[in-house]
């Protein structure tokens, strides 16, 4: 059976402070082959990097989420640029993008920081992990203006329509699909997964958040991806093993890792 690659997790989160190592042991025993721990602030990026350094099956992305862009002072920019370039276990810049749901920062400031981190990814030749919430058009506009198709990466926790997906597909981006696919109200996402080619889908948890049914509301773990695989196989009318194999291969291509 092909192992699972969880392409977007937050095991640096305090939700795992009590039992992190026990969780990692269970993940490895349960068929989780690789994990990408994704930074969302400078502090969480530092924690993600430490996890990647100390665990052979964990990789990391370093970046600043749109809610945390006050982190991007000159000192922290220097740290981010230095570490994202030099650390072998850093596979991407992220998570970066736009969040108009919480609107913590003005849109023009979010766009400027998004553009800066896209440029950083281009300069160090690494893909990006994009966060976009209630900001579909502006996200696509910034990506096009920055020629993000030349950079590559993933639209994490994809939540928009199949029509919108065409715009990100045109830029050759991957789509991160997780527990939301199993929710009763996920009709729009189901339609998008029906539309997307399997070769552009990767699996993720966003753990400790967004646990799939039947564990909705609980702390999420990479082991729960099996429920996403089951639902995706139903939607795509292929076997669960095919979902595992194709998404495993996709994740390695996306993050430029050898299999």
pLDDT reported for residue 12: 98
Which one of 3.20.20.80, 3.20.20.140, 3.90.1150.10, 3.20.20.70 gives the CATH number of domain 4-254?
Answer: 3.20.20.140
Q: CA–CA separation, 236 vs 121, rounded Å? A: 32
pLDDT reported for residue 123: 98
pLDDT band at residue 73 under the 50/70/90 scheme: very high
| pLDDT tens digits for range 23-56 | 999 999 999 999 999 999 999 999 999 999 999 9
Task: Choose between 259 and 85: higher pLDDT.
Answer: 85
pLDDT reported for residue 136: 98
What pTM does this model have? 0.98
HSE of 171, CA atoms in CB hemisphere, 13 A: 27
pLDDT reported for residue 46: 98
Q: Average pLDDT over the chain, rounded to whole?
A: 98
CA 174 centroid distance within chain: 10
Q: What is the average per-residue pLDDT within 172-194? A: 98
pLDDT reported for residue 196: 98
pLDDT reported for residue 161: 97
| Percent of the residues in the chain that have a pLDDT greater than 90, as a whole number | 100
pLDDT reported for residue 178: 98
| pLDDT tens digits for range 136-178 | 999 999 999 999 999 999 999 999 999 999 999 999 999 999 9
Handedness of CA 67, 65, 180, 148 (dihedral sign): positive
Give the SS3 label for residue 95. Answer: strand
pLDDT reported for residue 128: 99
| Percent of the residues in the chain that have a pLDDT greater than 70, as a whole number | 100
pLDDT reported for residue 197: 98
Extended beta strands in 107-187, E state: 128-133, 153-155, 174-177
Burial 147-163 (b: 16+ CB within 10 A, else e): ebeebbbbbbbbbbebe
pLDDT reported for residue 11: 99
């Amino acid at each position: 059976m092909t192992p699972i690659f969880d392409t977007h997790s937050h095991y640096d989160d305090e939700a795992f402070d009590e039992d992190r190592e026990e969780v990692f042991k269970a993940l490895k025993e349960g068929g989780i082959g690789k994990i990408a721990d994704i930074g969302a602030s400078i502090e969480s990026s530092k924690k993600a990097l430490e996890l990647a350094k100390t665990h052979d099956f964990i990789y990391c992305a370093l970046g600043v989420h749109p809610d945390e862009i006050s982190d991007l002072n000159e000192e922290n920019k220097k740290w981010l640029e230095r570490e994202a370039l030099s650390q072998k276990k850093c596979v991407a810049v992220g998570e970066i993008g736009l969040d108009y749901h919480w609107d913590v920062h003005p849109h023009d400031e979010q766009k400027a920081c998004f553009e800066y981190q896209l440029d950083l990814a281009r300069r160090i030749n690494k893909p990006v992990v994009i966060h976009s919430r209630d900001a579909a058009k502006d996200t696509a506009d910034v990506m096009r203006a920055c020629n993000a198709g030349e950079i590559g990466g993933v639209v994490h926790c994809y939540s928009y329509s199949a029509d919108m997906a065409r715009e990100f597909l045109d830029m050759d981006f991957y789509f991160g699909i997780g527990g939301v696919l199993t929710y009763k109200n996920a009709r729009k996402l189901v339609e998008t997964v029906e539309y997307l080619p399997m070769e552009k889908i990767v699996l993720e948890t966003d753990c400790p958040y967004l646990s799939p049914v039947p564990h909705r509301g609980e702390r999420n773990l990479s082991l729960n991806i099996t429920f996403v695989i089951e639902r995706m196989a139903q939607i795509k009318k292929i076997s669960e093993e095919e979902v595992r194999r194709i998404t495993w291969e996709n994740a390695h291509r996306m993050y430029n890792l050898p299999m």
